[in-house]
Amino acid sequence: MSGSTALTLPGWRSQLNDIWEHPNSKKARRVAFHVVRGAKKFLLGTGNAAWIVGTTLLVMVMPLAFEIEREESMGMEGAMTLPPK
């Protein structure tokens, strides 16, 4: 039984090789390569952009938010200490 499988295996490999070397298959592989490469570049670029936005928020926007919150709390404390009219 294993002898018959061994005889059909080279035929199977040659068919697979014929399909692999077919011009339509080569074009599909080339298109797939470029799609995968483009997706990889897009994902890496998106990650880099997310890093830039995140660090910018931490460095520039968060101190501003804290300062606004502190001013509001100081304004509320000042309003609480004023005598009623």
Does 24 fall in a domain? yes
Tens-place pLDDT, residues 12-71: 888 888 887 888 888 999 999 999 999 999 999 999 999 999 999 999 999 999 999 999
- 1 band by pLDDT with thresholds 50, 70 and 90: very low
Does 16 fall in a domain? yes
- Count of the separate structural domains present in the chain: 1
What is the signed CA dihedral for 66, 71, 74, 76, rounded to 10 degrees? -100
pTM: 0.46
Does 25 fall in a domain? yes
Measured over the CA atoms of residue 45, residue 50, residue 55 and residue 56, the dihedral's sign is: positive
Does 71 fall in a domain? yes
Does 4 fall in a domain? no
Higher pLDDT pick, 5 / 23: 23
Domain that holds residue 42: 12-77
